[in-house]
Amino acid sequence: MSNTENIKRVRIYLNERDSTAGQPLYLATLERLRREGATGATALRGVAGFGAGLQLHAATLGEFTAAPIVIEWVDRAERVGRILPLLDELLSAALITIEDLRVYRAVLRSGGPFGDRTVGQVMLRAPATARPDLTVRAAAELMLARDQPWLPILDERGGILGMLSADDLPLRAGLSLPLRLFPALSAAEQQAVLEQLPARPAGEIMIVDPRTAYVESSIAQALGPMIEWGIDALPVLDRSGQLVGLFGGEQALRAAQRAPTSTAGPVRDAEPPTPVSLVMQRSVPSIAAAAPLEAVIPQLLAAPERFVVVLEDGRPIGTISDMRLAQRLAEPARTAWLAVLRTPAAPPALPPESDHAGAAGALADRDTPTIGAPAPQDEAIRLMLEGGYERLLVLEDDGRLAGVVSRRAIVRGLAQAAG
């Protein structure tokens, strides 16, 4: 038998007469352990015993009638390390011991999707940064060159002043097309879009006083404000307040992928794997494969994430996105599509020859990745990271569309599981 997982046994020595708020202390302790997420604990009643407190009171033999109580709690080391300090006030006078255990067999609550990893262990190191006087255009070019949609703006000491994101550029600087579409543009088209940016310093349009993460924070602590405030990435600071990295959804997914899972061996997880069906989005924009381009465009513009699923006989055959149309449309329809993206409120002026039945099916990306609804969430993470996919189509057993699962949805689910 071999087991390398770090399992601890905690013993808490009490007396049946010990109480708190009118309740036996051992019951209050068990309830607190349960509430904080301990795997399980048992209170054992002894025949007789004494401790330092009894000796201080010069106990007589009759005082041994109060039976000793020992609480045994066996759990993963990271959970013991998290919960035990929370009992300090409740058990300020109790004897508490901790031992390493060699486990033959156990079913324990999982260590969560991230285990005991910290932000500093999984963050993007040495990210591209800028000073506040860098021009907006130079900042955009730097983000493109480094394939980094978030740019920390630093002072001369390396402290964080603000953050600039790719999503800020259309809103705050008037960029006519988002940076994520630049791979579909020619070099000349890219330069024409960048030349429209104002000659302003990045410091004028950055988000000031951004939320940050401490390098030693747990991943769950960093994900909390990201989910609450809809932030895609946080600058990571060291003890002196200097930037040391970036933490975002990509890093959270990789941390969850690396986390050990216990499905076999002496120590197994009590919880079953999370199925994709629990985190997927069921309401998905879709269009029939026989639809003409004239019908595709308004559907695409109305979709929050600018993609629609193409269905044939009720089954998905692929997807169409704003990027897909920019890559696949022939001229002059492509130029008309880019003009629509620049001014979505204006009615599209498509050439008549481009509007033929079946355009949706012909333009669909048929290599769109899929996954079964019962598949474990870990498999979705693996597919996304290995293929660089933003989302996966989720299928029922009969091949019909069940929903779609995105990176953002999985990160939200991981944050909830991490508690």
For residues 43 and 162, membership in a common domain is answered with no
The stretch 54-61 carries a mean pLDDT of 46
What rounded mean pLDDT belongs to the chain?
89
| Residue 114 confidence (pLDDT) | 86
pLDDT at 202 over 90: yes
Backbone angles phi and psi of 171, in degrees to 5 = -80, -40
List, for residues 365-382, the tens digit of each pLDDT value: 999 999 999 999 999 999
Mean pLDDT of 91-120: 86
132 shares a domain with 100: no
Position with higher pLDDT, 417 vs 414: 414
* pLDDT above 80 for 333: yes
What is the per-residue pLDDT for 354? 58
pLDDT band at residue 57, thresholds of 50, 70 and 90?
Answer: very low
Residue 1: the pLDDT is 41
**Cβ neighbours of residue 364 under 8 Å, at least 6 residues apart?**
289, 310, 317, 318, 319, 320, 324
- The answer to pTM > 0.75 is yes
Average pLDDT over residues 202-223: 93
Give the model's pLDDT for residue 212: 96
If one compares 239 and 350, the residue with the highest pLDDT of the two is: 239
Whether the pLDDT of residue 63 is over 70: the answer is: no
* 259 pLDDT more than 80: no
Q: Which of 209, 210, 194 is nearest to 139 (CA)?
A: 194
7-16, 223-232, 258-267, 401-410: the lowest-pLDDT one: 258-267
Rounded Cα–Cα distance for residues 123 and 127 (Å): 10
**Furthest-apart CA pair in the chain: how many Å?**
103
CATH label of the domain that carries residue 395: 3.10.580.10
Q: Tell me the average pLDDT across 7-23.
A: 94
Torsion from C-alpha of 184, 167, 403, 343, nearest 10 degrees: -60
Confidence of residue 59 (pLDDT cuts 50, 70, 90): very low
Task: Report the CATH number at residue 35.
Answer: 3.30.70.120
Q: Is the pLDDT of residue 263 over 70?
A: no
Q: Are 132 and 202 in contact (CB under 8 A)?
A: yes
Per-residue pLDDT, averaged over 88-112, amounts to 87
- Residue 215 to residue 131: CA distance in whole angstroms: 22
Note the pLDDT of residue 261: 55
Please check whether residue 2 lies inside any domain of the structure. no
Last residue of a domain, one of 232, 258, 284: 258
pLDDT for the residue numbered 21: 92
Q: Residues 217, 333: one domain?
A: no
**Residues 149 and 230 reside in one and the same domain:** yes
Using alpha carbons, select from 12, 26, 10 the residue that is nearest to residue 74: 10
pLDDT higher than 80, residue 347:
no
Q: What is the pLDDT of residue 265?
A: 65
Query: Can you give the pLDDT at residue 35?
Result: 87
Average pLDDT over residues 406-414: 94
Among 74, 108, 142, identify where a domain stops.
108
Residue 117 has pLDDT above 90, yes or no: no
pLDDT in tens, 124-170: 999 999 999 999 999 999 999 999 999 999 999 999 999 999 998 99
Region 327-338 average pLDDT: 90
In a shared domain, residues 95 and 130: no
Total of domains in the chain? 3
Q: Is residue 247 domain-shared with residue 283, that is, in the same domain?
A: no
Residues 103 and 124 in one domain: no
* 88 shares its domain with 169: no
- Residue 270 inside a domain? The answer is no
- Torsion from C-alpha of 152, 406, 343, 188, nearest 10 degrees: 60
Query: Does residue 85 share a domain with residue 49?
Result: yes
CB distance 71 to 30 below 8 Å: yes
Which of 108, 136, 154 is the last residue in one of the domains?
A: 108
Both 304 and 212 in a single domain? no
Examine the domain organization and report whether 218 and 129 are in the same domain: yes
* Distances from the Cα of 15 to the Cα of 9, 20, 224, 356, angstroms: 20, 12, 40, 83
Domain extent at residue 354:
276-418
pLDDT at 279 over 50: yes
pLDDT band at 280 (very low <50, low <70, confident <90, very high): very high
113 within some domain: no
Flag whether pLDDT at 60 surpasses 60: no
pLDDT at 56: 43
Nearest to 39 by CA among 16, 73, 88: 73
